[in-house]
Chains A and B, each alone.
Chain A
């Protein structure tokens, strides 16, 4: 009973998490945190360095702050969307943003009178190179999640197939929820036949769509892309499959052990027959010995012939 209740609580949460816009609402909070950090930084800077030696041009400082803000926002988004995985849907804007900001830093030329620019002073002037590290981290995460796979080519918004998939996914979750609520009345935890029967169609569709996506990806994705779909889709499918075959126990395959045993023992029996029959019926191959032409055998041959005669 306990798992069922748990599940029922979980389902609405899953559905809620799907709404892509949810991430935007929390923006001010992130900004607040950023502001604090910036203030602290300012403080330290003011205390540590004499004012007449400006370490960083104001322009560059602005870019750096923007980057810091962007990365904080992205980190927050990634963290919040870790389980159930909604990274690509929720955070792709943040990621694009951050890319742009990093691009600004890398490209930006600071005060033209000075010989150095922002890129140099921010990205390469110390051992740690934290900005580069951060940006690499985000890029790698994005690559690993393979988000590009479920976004449109221009990275603006989800691709059509992904949207379709997520719709279907929502539909099946709703279906599960619906049927389970009906079933709680019977209080029979291991009997989910109702769900299995009613949601079979949706589930099958979802499964087929996923397999299709995977196949298409494998065919088209030979040029560089890995064979994975994007993590959101994969995770959604995983959750559904687990629910379907583990929790609901819906996919009960027909096990036909008796015919399998019969056929296999028949086949396994054949070699025994074969070997026995060839042992009994086949004429054993005989070798004809040849007497070597050698001195001693010659001699003994003579001896023996003498004996016999």
Chain B
């Protein structure tokens, strides 16, 4: 009597099923019936976007309200709660400070290493321009890039693959409630920071801003737990926060602090957390997150200003500074707004193109380039090609501009006259951040249209090719750069067409282009508007930026979805969107749920528990606990819900009924024991249970959650979805009218349904 199988009374005829489905969509129905047949054999299919991976678990946002918990809460008095509150603020301050410091570290190291690299290459090019042999300079540049990127890629591919990419999709998933393995570990942070430094220094078309968000999140998760399992150090502080709910709150603060350090945009950071992660929100949390953001940007600002030699000046609030946009020329008039909207349309189309190309590339990568060494080779090739493309563009360009003071960090003369520099080199021979700022602020006439056009084209493909490599790097800056380049081109041609100097300054158009392109790629709305506004330091730009981002999103969404969502889908993550798919009302919990359910009795034999937990075919995490009736014919009502992690802790401490009788001195299990094991519970294989112990009984009533959320079978999918999304549930038990367990709804059951091109689609589960 191991499982409760409910199959006898629950074998609905296929007739019933067809009858229910016929009101969904006829096409859909036929498709499903067709695909039903080949699915029977355990089959292998190539990776595609319509899969859900079994690898991803849900986070337990819902507190297990068992007796232990209630006892502890009762013990904590009013002042203790106040201490907890103060601790939360202290943690937020620490998150802010550390995130700011990490950002400073990245910034300073990148600046120095990149400076060194560019000086070496520039020296070499200058030398060979006179004597001939520029192909050696090209080789030097390409080799330098490739070798730096190789190191960056090796550490990511071999040590911590989850540190690849910008980390925003991963954090988005985490805040959504999906546990991505390793995502908030200290090791990930170290790899991420080193990786991003190396990939920026390696000259890839990447930015260091996106990874800041991930870094902030890891820092937050680490600090709030008061220990590091990677370092095997436990500081014995903040033990109260060792559970998923509290950790999530701090992670959202960390992500906000990361955004704030990256762009100098504290409000934007808060809104980012709100937009991307917040299905659970309260205003105290918002205020705390804002506090962390402010601390983070302030820390970065003060440390960097000391580093730059003008202490107390506080003039560098973020990793990227768009520079000041507040002079007379940069103002806009009402006539320009339609032009901005048009730019938004262009940005949306280009963004959709970027995403579509990246989609095919990523699919190819997942299918064919999955071995770490191949990934490293690919990253090296991209680095070498990036250098080559840059070099060829600079070599072919005849656009020379006079040097003015020291605005250009590494002026390359190449074939220009003495005292002039190659203007293509300001765009390619520089870190992307600096190129963006140059495009915004260089006086009109610094670039000729040909240069900008070629640059946009090349950089577009390079950036698209680079995103998704096994290096840690963000997509914000490349998008901004592409947008700034075509925006500036647009501005120049506009003033050329109108022959007037009314709309003289192309920098303004560069900014709008950057916003449009970024919006078209990542499809963020509110937070991106505020981030751009704060980064430019100009509130009056808020309105046009908002319009541009809106248009870009609408136009882009018409073609494909945003880059981050696309990558989440390609990773087969069971991601829950804001709402259930619109046409899903016809589905009920009965069709959605998994059944039969593996249940446990309130007083269960240890052997049974061990067997269930070690069964590899059903890797369940939550088990409904039912009344332990001796005979199975009677109704076994639902009594509670217990988690795998709790069972493992119970087995580990051998909390068996017999043993309790034997040794009365044995101390009672406390909530602390569960917390100490969090978040890495040992696997069942590591727990030794002897043959005698298998015959013991285990009493779950004290440890199970006696009040799990349940729904009747008739509840519609949107209703179930809403419960899940709003409460952050992991398991939802479906019961019949006798309070008998008939099924279980988990995240994957809900995430399967998605609105595709032809109506409602169903994703299949796969082992990845």
Listed in ascending order, the chain A residues whose CB lies under 8 Å from chain B are 207, 218, 222, 226-228, 237-238, 241-242, 244-246, 251, 253-256, 259-260, 262-264, 267-268, 270-271, 274-275, 278-279, 282, 284-304
Contact = CB atoms under 8 A, between A and B. Distances in A.
A256 B134 contact: yes
Contacts of B388: 263-264, 267-268
Interface in B387-437: 388-389, 391-392, 395, 402, 405-406, 414-415, 417-419
24 contacts: A253-B415, A254-B131, A255-B134, A255-B415, A263-B388, A267-B384, A271-B378, A271-B381, A284-B367, A287-B766, A287-B767, A288-B767, A289-B39, A289-B44, A289-B764, A289-B767, A293-B595, A293-B596, A294-B594, A295-B590, A296-B12, A298-B7, A300-B36, A302-B11
B142 interface: yes
Nearest to A304: B40
B370 A295 contact: no
Contact of B593 (A244, A270, A294): A294
B17 A299 contact: yes
B109 interface: no
Contacts of B44: 286-289
A288 B752 CA distance: 16
Contacts of A244: 418
Contacts of A242: 417, 419
A244 B14 CA distance: 90
B367 to A, nearest CB: 5
Nearest to A252: B415
A260 B415 CA distance: 14
Contact of A260 (B135, B374, B419): B135
Contacts of A303: 14
B481 to A, nearest CB: 21
Given A278-B374, A282-B374, A300-B36, A294 B595 contact: yes
B493 interface: no
A234 to B, nearest CB: 9
Given A267-B385, A282-B374, A288 B42 contact: yes
B129 interface: yes
A263 B137 CA distance: 11
A258 to B, nearest CB: 9
Given A285-B366, A287-B44, A290-B767, 18 more contacts: A227-B406, A228-B405, A237-B419, A241-B419, A264-B138, A271-B381, A274-B378, A287-B47, A287-B768, A289-B767, A291-B42, A292-B764, A295-B595, A296-B17, A299-B13, A299-B17, A300-B17, A300-B36
Interface in B199-217: none
B132 interface: yes
Interface string B51-80: 100100000000000000000000000000
B43 interface: yes
Contact of A226 (B131, B392, B405, B596): B405
B568 interface: no
A298 B595 contact: yes
A250 to B, nearest CB: 9
Nearest to B32: A296
Contacts of B381: 270-271, 274
B46 A287 contact: yes
Contacts of B135: 256, 259-260, 262-263
A292 B765 contact: yes
B12 A270 contact: no
Contacts of B134: 255-256, 259-260
The DSSP consensus for interface residues of chain B is: mixed
B45 interface: yes
B417 A256 contact: no
Interface in B117-147: 129-135, 138-139, 142
The CB with the most chain B CB atoms within 10 A, among A228, A237, A251, is that of: A251
Given A270-B384, A298-B11, A282 B45 contact: no
A301 B40 contact: yes
Interface size classification for chain B: 35 or more
A66 B94 CA distance: 64
A52 to B, nearest CB: 49
A253 B368 contact: no
B367 A285 contact: yes
Nearest to A303: B14
Nearest to B590: A295
Contact of A253 (B366, B377, B405, B414): B414
B417 A246 contact: yes
B319 interface: no
A248 to B, nearest CB: 11
A8 B418 CA distance: 22
Given A274-B381, A296-B12, A282 B369 contact: yes
Contacts of B593: 294-295
The 9 closest A-B pairs by CB, nearest first: A254-B132, A259-B135, A286-B44, A245-B417, A241-B418, A241-B419, A287-B766, A227-B406, A290-B765
B37 interface: yes
Contacts of B752: 292
A195 B46 CA distance: 71
B382 to A, nearest CB: 7
Nearest to B596: A293
Nearest to B7: A298
B672 interface: no
Contacts of B131: 254
A238 B12 CA distance: 90
Nearest to B309: A222
Contacts of B764: 289-290, 292
B10 interface: yes
Given A228-B405, A264-B392, A271 B368 contact: no
A263 B138 contact: yes
A282 B43 contact: no
A285 B417 CA distance: 54
B324 interface: no
A253 B46 contact: no
Contacts of A262: 135
A35 B405 CA distance: 41
Nearest to A227: B406
Contacts of B389: 268
A286 B45 contact: yes
A291 B39 contact: yes
B7 A278 contact: no
A272 B377 CA distance: 13
B384 A256 contact: no
Given A207-B418, A263-B139, A289-B765, A296 B14 contact: yes
A256 to B, nearest CB: 5
Contact of B377 (A246, A267, A274, A302): A274
A292 B45 contact: no
B45 A245 contact: no
Given A244-B418, A268-B385, A256 B132 contact: yes
Contact of A289 (B42, B142, B377, B749): B42
A287 B45 contact: yes
B276 interface: no
A37 B336 CA distance: 51
Contacts of A296: 12, 14, 17, 591
B644 to A, nearest CB: 17
A77 B170 CA distance: 67
Nearest to A256: B132
B722 interface: no
Contacts of B595: 293-295, 298
Nearest to B33: A300
B690 to A, nearest CB: 32
Interface string B357-380: 000000010111111001001100
Contacts of B395: 260
Most chain-B CB neighbours within 10 Å: which of A271, A278, A302?
A278
Contacts of A299: 11-14, 17
B493 to A, nearest CB: 29
